[in-house]
Structure 1
């Protein structure tokens, strides 16, 4: 038991060290009132978003101190999304509506919509944002100011994730656990290696020139994980990218039910963790560092192994303190912290299910199906 306790301590220590280092520099950009900001094209792909599109547009149009246009591409909605946007466009000349056409072979739906939006945009700064994201009134000015001040080509960040059901609280917060616990931000910001580039597909701001030079969404037309691949694509072309704390700038409710969570995380898995070489490593890191300490502490008490108890307790304290610090930083529920190992097991189950199912059948998302492999 002692060797397992030592292993768990090492893995928990790795997670805790990276987390606390990242938290020390993971900040939202400040607004410089004197900064001259470029005009921004806000680009919204929408497929059956009648419930979201109105509030999303309200949030965008409430942004201050920026010159903007808003383009919505209705991607074959059947719930009246296009009607809502059309009515809003008639009342506000800043809004334009594009209508989707047949999806070309080899394209994922969102990437084709974003490609068309990028081509239709008139401004030099493009802001891709999902319809379920609600940006704050100073979001665009703060992000554009940071983009200009740091001479960046792409800037992204994860909004604060709203979680209301137990299913959401168990799983959604793990996005920040993986980001802040295993991506060394100091190195990611100084390295030219595309492998250290990361972003969030829910909201990304990019310079048109760098976007077009890299090939835009057409170069990643096959993917369902644009938040990962678009920053890597740009960095490969020599562009500068960064990832910020966007929790003060926007909110999002990603998924609401178990089915949505399972299919939503599963659709991206094959392009992220769920690879034959990577997933066993992730299982060791997450299972050994986040679940094992919670098992070894009571087990060592039952068996009377005092040294194993002390070592595994130290591991538990490390992982719990880092997890709690993350929750405080990005405003997550206490339940997500207390049930953290349960959530880790669920996330790993989703990833292993995706890996085992890779190459068999097809993935489905938003009424469309795609090759599983």
Structure 2
């Protein structure tokens, strides 16, 4: 038993040490956006794929329209809730989406149509639930120029409001900042890639050179797939944190978070059921198990417990989420693997549903 415990302690301790090292590197090197005036050039198209987004657009579209871009296009992807008239009334140009062709998933097809309709030299795809603050477009264009990237993807700051949406949604930042040290993006191998479909800014020439979103036409995790495939074709990738410039309210409740993450979890794990099960088991062992064992009997438990509690609080601080409620999310560490179990169960299904459409996982 002592040998088994020693092996577990070394594995869990090593796991947290690697994640802490990645977080420290990212704290020192990960680019953060700062508000800047929108420059006179280049011509920029802000592109919003929208399917039943009438609850989001009145809150997010005015900020997007105020950025000073050459054009703002909203693609109405077969909405049934009045998305198109709301977008028109607010001042955006609305593109009516065409039926989904065979072999395509919904979002890549919507983005492909937006790119065809756009006239800008820079194409910026942004989701309908993303909030653009004053100076955000200038910040994105500055970072795109500074990094000399063909694709700059921004991770907006999470704007969680209700307790339910705080349970799982912030894990997007945790995965990025504790598992992908920013300097790895400089390596040419396509596996050293990440992206966030909530905001992806392309140089048009690079986007068209790889065929646009046709490159990922049948991908549920189309953002990460696009980043890797662009990189494999010689494209340059950059990432940044949205900070005060760009925010997002992804999901409004715990069930919405489960549905959203369950849609992508299989792709994140290489569509391997074995990896999904191993991932669920390991996170239970690393974060939850230390709180189920008596600390007096098992040496090293206090350090494992502390690591699990501190991780999310430190990630939140790095992303600019520094209110007491944001930092208190760290106390969710021990129960997060339990809360994530429905996500894994959903990912194990043969098909997943999203926005009224069904896809293979």
1:155-195 residue CA offsets vs partner (Å, 9 max, x unmatched): 1121111222332111011111111111122112x111111
Aligned mates of 1:148, 1:59 — CA distance in 2: 23
Distance 1:293 1:185, change over 3 A: farther
Other structure's SS at 1:29 match: coil
Which residue is 1:28 aligned to?
32
Aligned mates of 2:175, 2:116 — CA distance in 1: 33
* Structure 1 residue 77: Cα displacement: 1.3
* Structure 1 residue 271: Cα displacement: 1.1
Write the mapping of 1:71-86 to structure 2, written as runs, cut at 5 A.
Answer: 71-86=73-88
Aligned mates of 1:52, 1:262 — CA distance in 2: 20
Other structure's SS at 2:107 match: helix
Aligned residues of 2:291 and 2:305 also touching (Cα < 8 A): yes
Query: Normalising to structure 1: TM-score of the pair?
Result: 0.87
Which residue is 2:124 aligned to?
127
* Structure 1 residue 216: Cα displacement: 1.1
Which residue is 1:46 aligned to?
50
Which residue is 1:202 aligned to?
198
Write the mapping of 1:323-338 to structure 2, written as runs, cut at 5 A.
Answer: 323-330=312-319, 331=321, 333-338=326-331
Structure 2: give runs of 5+ residues left out of the alignment: none
Distance 1:202 1:53, change over 3 A: same
Which residue is 1:222 aligned to?
218
Number of aligned positions between the proteins: 352
Which residue is 2:112 aligned to?
115
1:299-323 residue CA offsets vs partner (Å, 9 max, x unmatched): 232xxx2xx33x2222233343333
Aligned mates of 1:75, 1:186 — CA distance in 2: 37
* Structure 1 residue 86: Cα displacement: 2.6
* Structure 1 residue 282: Cα displacement: 3.2
Distance 1:31 1:259, change over 3 A: closer
Aligned mates of 1:184, 1:295 — CA distance in 2: 31
Q: Which is bigger in relative contact order (C-alpha 8 A, separation at least 6)?
A: 1
Are 2:360 and 1:367 equivalent residues in the alignment? no
* Structure 1 residue 347: Cα displacement: 2.4
Which residue is 2:183 aligned to?
186
Aligned residues of 2:133 and 2:245 also touching (Cα < 8 A): yes
Distance 1:259 1:79, change over 3 A: same
**Partner of residue 101 from structure 1, selected from 85, 98, 101:** 98
Are 2:48 and 1:16 equivalent residues in the alignment? no
RMSD: 2.2
Which residue is 2:347 aligned to?
354
Aligned mates of 1:105, 1:68 — CA distance in 2: 33
- Greater alpha carbon shift after TM alignment, 158-167 vs 217-226: 158-167
* Structure 1 residue 115: Cα displacement: 0.3
Query: Normalising to structure 2: TM-score of the pair?
Result: 0.90
Aligned mates of 1:238, 1:136 — CA distance in 2: 32
Distance 1:67 1:162, change over 3 A: closer
Aligned mates of 1:286, 1:56 — CA distance in 2: 35
Other structure's SS at 1:194 match: coil
Aligned mates of 1:315, 1:363 — CA distance in 2: 35
Aligned mates of 2:139, 2:38 — CA distance in 1: 12
Which residue is 2:153 aligned to?
156
Aligned residues of 1:28 and 1:248 also touching (Cα < 8 A): no
Aligned residues of 2:280 and 2:344 also touching (Cα < 8 A): no
